[in-house]
Amino acid sequence: MKNYGKWYVINGVKQYVHIISENSANPLLVYLHGGPGDAALPLMEHFNSDLAKKYTLIIWEQRGAGKSYYPFEENEGITIATFISDLKVLVLKLLSEWKKEKVCLMGHSWGSIIGMEFIKRYPKLIEYYIGVGQVICSQEMFTASRTYILEHSSDPKIRQRIASIDTSFRQEKWYNDLMYFMNQLIKTEGSLYGKKSYASFYPYFVRSKNYSLRDCLHRIKGSKQSIERLCQEVALVDFTQYTSFEVPIILIEGEQDYHVSEKTAFAFYQQLNSPKSYIRMKKAAHFPQWTRAADFNQIVNELEIPLTNAENYLEV
């Protein structure tokens, strides 16, 4: 098995890509991590290397995040469109190097925003798209998260503050409000199934042979700067008006995901007029690819690509 890292200069910025491959004839699967800024190489390598049985797995550390960290310039335009442009350059480089015509794309959470925008613009480059913890409408997402927190918190002070937060995140202290909101969601187990924190993920970063302590520090810095630059734009994301795409769409969602509303994702799937599949994973929330890794890997490796817009639903 090939397992190695490679640096690319993408739109003038040096960015890291990790490649895991058993067979160069396998299709390319490009993984788009969440966040923004939450680079995930150690987790993907530990939990999802089995995907290399069917695919050449491409793990991209996005600009300003993880191993691709650099401090954003004050006047540097960092928008969702920046990452779509970066992804296009990367995909074209990969297709040329691996002598392929298309890639498969998997987007998780924030990465699913990049993924959906990308398949809208460049469908001819995509074999099919897999969304995990798929963002459909940010304001519906925040509404569902708020409702969940209020239902699972008994502290009146917490409930009062959560109820009052403006989820456009344009208020003066919006970053503090966002961090408080997300921390309460995590503490009430609406994000990581059965856990009140992300601490169980941390050892994989510290012990990774491909992540130094410097990379771990950069991941923290990259997450903060990416949220600061992108959160307000993310709060405006809304794909509910789109009902038809030129590529098959497969959504894999944790049944207990209140970080990104599973119910909103399912409603979106139901209205799609494109080839589509929906896999709902029980005993999982926002991170089924890591909390139920063996099942997730098997699902992805055994995917039957939908050819019609007929209902194609599986619960596991």
Side-chain-facing half-sphere of 183: CA atoms under 13 Å: 8
**Banded pLDDT at 308 (limits 50, 70, 90):** confident
For 237-277, write each residue's pLDDT tens digit.
999 999 999 999 999 999 999 999 999 999 999 999 999 99
Q: In degrees to the nearest 10, what's the CA dihedral of 37, 39, 43, 49?
A: 130
Token pair listed for 146: 């708020």
Q: What is residue 306's predicted lDDT score, i.e. its pLDDT? A: 86
Taking residues 170-174, report their average pLDDT: 97
Say yes or no to pLDDT of 307 above 90.
no
For 41-68, write each residue's pLDDT tens digit.
999 999 999 999 999 999 999 999 999 9
Question: Sign (positive/negative) of CA torsion 223, 226, 232, 238?
Answer: negative
Q: Is-contact 126 114, C-beta < 8 A?
A: no
Q: What is residue 7's predicted lDDT score, i.e. its pLDDT? A: 98
Q: What is residue 274's predicted lDDT score, i.e. its pLDDT? A: 93
